[in-house]
Amino acid sequence: MISVQLQSQVAGELAGLARQGASGALRVGGEPGGTIYLRGGQMAFAESAAAPDLGSRLVNSRRLGVDQWRRAQRDSRAYGCTGDMLLRRGLIDAAEWQALLQSAALDALLALAIQLAGHGADPGVDTAFVPRRAHRDGSALRMDIGRAWAHAAQEAERLAGYRVGPDTRLRLSGRSRSRPVFGPEATAVLGQVDGRATIRELAWRNGLALFGVMDWAARLIQDGVCVIAPPEDAAPDNAAPEHAPPEDAPAEDAAIRWTQPDPDMLRQILARLRQLS
């Protein structure tokens, strides 16, 4: 099967780079594609277009203001790492920054594993290793790349059993077997489940881990709270993304999809929760 071949190909390349103690970036082509960064044979970071980046995680979750992130990016150019500037200014502590790096990196591995498992994978996907290439904001991790990739592949297989992927769209079923109880964060996300937003859009929009939203979606499906929306529920292909950055946004800010809270969100959430009663 193509999925086995592609996952084995990447696993083999990573194992070889780990044995060599290589430092650099392994680029994986295709859609969404991504890059795995190595330092001394260990994973230093990973990124994928399917997974929210570091700035979006902090800003869209309201952990930092968008101006705080932008200033830290600008002022850290001489130092090379936005995280160092955030730490220096007391806006985040070392443990939180480390946890964010690990979560974002594992999200990217999961997205790549799902891609290579056949969810829209291109049979001709290419990989290329660029020596000594490092990520500007992510080089502090020291993770066993073999174990990290194996974990991502295992989770991709598990989530595939629920037909859950980054581009899956959910809608409320109205037929939950029991009345669910959610915290404020989960309730806010549930209020955005409308059959049109994909799981990756929900993660980006709310500054959440892609894996966390996918795992939560699988449990919502299992509990009967949500079902997978049919393709006809999706927004038209030519529709503008609801939370896309302005066309004239600076390139360095384009990934931060920050928006002011919607004042009507609470009413929408309460209306949707009443459907589950």
The pLDDT of residue 155 is above 50: yes
Which domain range does residue 33 map to? 2-160
| Contact by Cβ (8 Å): 14, 26 | yes
Q: Which of 97, 98, 201, 222 is nearest to 158 (CA)?
A: 222
- 98 φψ region: left (φ > 0), alpha (ψ -120 to 50), beta (else): alpha
Among 160, 193, 212, where does a domain finish?
Answer: 160
Q: Which of 201, 219, 211, 200 is nearest to 259 (CA)?
A: 201
Does one domain contain both 28 and 74?
yes
Total structural domains in the chain? 2
| Contact by Cβ (8 Å): 169, 269 | no
Q: pLDDT tens digits for 174-192? A: 765 555 556 777 888 888 9
Does residue 33 fall inside a structural domain?
yes
The pLDDT of residue 277: 40
Does residue 153 fall inside a structural domain?
yes
- Phi, psi (deg, nearest 5) at residue 126: -110, 155
DSSP alpha helix (H) spans, the chain: 2-20, 54-60, 66-75, 82-88, 94-116, 145-160, 184-190, 199-206, 210-222, 265-274
Q: Which of 136, 63, 137 is nearest to 101 (CA)?
A: 137
Does residue 217 fall inside a structural domain?
yes
Q: How confident is the model at residue 271 (pLDDT cuts 50, 70, 90)?
A: low
Does one domain contain both 74 and 185?
no
Does one domain contain both 129 and 107?
yes
Does one domain contain both 105 and 12?
yes
Does residue 53 fall inside a structural domain?
yes
Does one domain contain both 23 and 149?
yes
CB atoms within 10 A of CB 222: 10
Does residue 165 fall inside a structural domain?
no
Does one domain contain both 143 and 182?
no
Does one domain contain both 217 and 105?
no
Does one domain contain both 156 and 221?
no
Does one domain contain both 21 and 153?
yes
Does one domain contain both 147 and 206?
no
Q: How confident is the model at residue 173 (pLDDT cuts 50, 70, 90)?
A: confident
Q: pLDDT tens digits for 183-234? A: 777 888 888 999 999 999 999 999 999 999 999 999 999 988 899 998 866 6
Among 120, 141, 160, where does a domain finish?
Answer: 160
**252: DSSP letter:** G
Does one domain contain both 14 and 151?
yes
d(C-alpha 129, C-alpha 144), whole Å: 18
Among 127, 160, 193, where does a domain finish?
Answer: 160
* Residue 18 in tokens: 């780990």
Does one domain contain both 64 and 89?
yes
* Its pTM surpasses 0.85: no
